[in-house]
Copies of this chain bind each other. A is one copy, B any other.
Amino acid sequence: MSAADLLAVLVGRHLRYDWDEPANPGNDHLIFSKGHASPLLYSVFKAVGVVSDDELMTGYRRFGSRLEGHPTPLLPWVDVATGSLGQGLPDAVGVALAGKYLDELPFRVWVLCGDSEMAEGSIWEALDKASHYKLSNLIAMVDINRLGQRGPTELSWDLETYRRRVSAFGARALVIDGHDLAAVDRAMAEASDISGDQPTVILARTRKGRGFSEVEDREDWHGKPFPPAMAERAVIELGGERSLIVRGPKPDPAARSARDAAASAEVKLPSYAIGDKVATRKAYGQALSAIGVRRDVVAMDGEVSNSTFADQFAHEHPERYFEMYIAEQQLIAAAVGFSVRGYRPFASTFAAFLTRAYDFIRMAAISQANIRLCGSHAGVEIGADGPSQMALEDLAIMRAVQGSTVLYPSDANSAAALVAAMADTNGVVYMRTTRGAYPVLYDTRESFPVGGAKVMRSSDRDQVTLIGAGVTLHACLAAADQLQADGITARVIDLYSVKPVDTDALTAAAAVTGGKLVIAEDHHPEGGLASAVLEALTGAGHVDLTVRHLAVFELPGSGTSQELLDAAGISADHIAAAARSLAG
């Protein structure tokens, strides 16, 4: 109710939207960063006539309904799922970046923010990037009703402090009474002029429960429905109107001339000679640059592009590369925003630092966004930089994302092939790359389907299966050589697709080797390769297993790669010893 006046003016007079064609590329965007205001959003949908009174009254928050407790893109007019606060605005930055720099369309991105969420750092990452990239097409409307879920907000109605903060972060701040309809109209008219080089933030002083004297500006009504008689009194006090169809302006028809995003240029992936030592992170950058001939591929990085090798793409396709500096939440949100506009975004940083944006990654899955993530420098393999830079939980957290794909190539040619596959894989798609350079293992003619695995060594007499990926696959191969010298034949599996995992290859290997498996991973023991293998094998039916699981159980320190792999017990000697204990 505090933001109803804002939305009424916006939807009636400023939002350029063809409600009969939500996919119209010229439509403005409307994102409710305060997702808990879903009753207001759905009321807008009712007011413009795309949701019926019946659906609204019987469907809201009900099982099977698209009118969920917080908005999701099940509704064609919703771009992104919100409900984790402080995400809608960063997502909108991505949409606005796409509009200004790639679509080159005059649409505006309107975002309704709550005042409570201004305490989230991600809001300031968003405003910082919005001003850095001069996103005059981005308009945030902050509903400053001074009451959070639990009581007063930190800044209450201190509009001046809000004004100073958003101004300092480079936005044009417009301070208004959010219930003065003329003032709201003037502010929105001013914000609609996108010829400047600043984002706009409309700071609207509002009252929670506005228009219904029994609750206005009172605590303890957050998220609670009125009892029926009280609701009846509210409708009467608000004027008694129950059904009104209001539609505002439509987008300029000329704005439809969007350029053909999905040009199908032929991709020529880099190729590497077997035995050459090449880091998979380098192959990532070179392959990304190669698929950049597809004009819908967009890349961004968190100020480490010279380490992740995303700088290869930045060099070749600067017009589609966006530097996000050290702001990983905004990095992921920007990718989500590009996905909203139909691009194929690739976002990269050190794998360890993707943990910074995990809430955004989780929400991207609920948004049904199609984003590709690359985390470099994974595991103790990185060596001297120490544990703060080691991703030892990335496989676990990425596997746990709904509908995700998790890839972990061991050599440069498979990495390049998988980068190409990522572009055509939907959902949240993650690739883990390695710092060091290791021998190329595969010919460029090999294929690496998502969900597959490579059986690198095999015979009908295999006594034990060695399973690795990334640096531990190289260790498994070396261990197999040691075992061979001892007369032990080992099957070796490259588990490059950690999710989905190749259950058939694993089941076959377990069957041949009597269920004797050594699983080695440069990762904490929980939720990574072993978890993927065990969940797959037990999911396939009865199993009879004897497993040795080698992983990073203790807190590592600095050292060389080899010292740290040895200390963690995941190097070739350890794998061979574990295999001997099984096969012996």
> Are B69's CB and A386's CB within 8 A?
yes
Once the chains are docked, how many angstroms separate the CA of A542 from the CA of B582? Answer: 10
> Are A81's CB and B388's CB within 8 A?
yes
- 13 cross-chain CB contacts under 8 A: A69-B385, A69-B389, A116-B303, A120-B328, A164-B164, A164-B167, A366-B388, A396-B396, A396-B400, A396-B527, A397-B397, A527-B527, A541-B546
In the complex, which residues 58-97 of chain A have their Cβ closer than 8 Å to any Cβ of chain B?
61-65, 67-70, 72, 74, 81-86
Which listed residue (B125, B386, B549) contacts A120, Cβ 8 A? B125
What B residues does A65 contact at CB under 8 A? 557-558
Once the chains are docked, how many angstroms separate the CA of A151 from the CA of B389? Answer: 20
> Are A72's CB and B386's CB within 8 A?
yes
> Are A327's CB and B119's CB within 8 A?
yes
Instruction: Spell out A's residues near B (CB within 8 Å).
Output: 35, 61-65, 67-70, 72, 74, 81-86, 116-117, 119-125, 128, 132, 148-150, 153-154, 161, 164-165, 167-170, 303-307, 311, 325-330, 352-353, 355-356, 358-359, 362-363, 365-366, 384-389, 392-393, 396-397, 399-403, 499, 515, 524-528, 530-532, 534-535, 538-539, 541-547, 549, 555, 557-560, 563-564, 567
Once the chains are docked, how many angstroms separate the CA of A67 from the CA of B558? Answer: 8
Which listed residue (B74, B132, B384, B539) contacts A61, Cβ 8 A? B384
Q: Knowing A63-B558, A119-B325, A161-B168 touch, does A359 contact B353 (C-beta < 8 A)?
A: yes
> Are A555's CB and B366's CB within 8 A?
yes
Which listed residue (B325, B541, B555, B558) contacts A365, Cβ 8 A? B555
Number of copies: 2
> Are A559's CB and B84's CB within 8 A?
no
- Minimum CB–CB distance for A41 against chain B, Å: 13
> Are B389's CB and A83's CB within 8 A?
yes
Residue among A148, A327, A392 facing the most chain B CB atoms (10 A cut-off): A327
> Are A81's CB and B558's CB within 8 A?
no
What B residues does A558 contact at CB under 8 A? 61-63, 65, 67-69
Once the chains are docked, how many angstroms separate the CA of A531 from the CA of B132? Answer: 44
Which listed residue (B68, B386, B402) contacts A557, Cβ 8 A? B68
What B residues does A150 contact at CB under 8 A? 303-306, 311
- Minimum CB–CB distance for A383 against chain B, Å: 8
Once the chains are docked, how many angstroms separate the CA of A538 from the CA of B546? Answer: 7
What B residues does A61 contact at CB under 8 A? 384-386, 558
- Minimum CB–CB distance for A62 against chain B, Å: 6
What B residues does A560 contact at CB under 8 A? 63
What B residues does A534 contact at CB under 8 A? 531, 534-535, 538
Which listed residue (B81, B117, B531, B541) contacts A526, Cβ 8 A? B531
> Are A535's CB and B545's CB within 8 A?
no
> Are A388's CB and B83's CB within 8 A?
yes
- Minimum CB–CB distance for A575 against chain B, Å: 16
- Sort A-B residue pairs by CB-CB distance and give the 6 closest, nearest first: A121-B121, A83-B388, A63-B559, A527-B527, A393-B400, A61-B384
Q: Knowing A168-B167, A534-B534, A539-B549 touch, does A63 contact B567 (C-beta < 8 A)?
A: yes
> Are A355's CB and B352's CB within 8 A?
no
- Minimum CB–CB distance for A242 against chain B, Å: 24
> Are B70's CB and A403's CB within 8 A?
no
> Are A544's CB and B547's CB within 8 A?
no
Complex: chain B residue closest to A384, CB-CB: B61
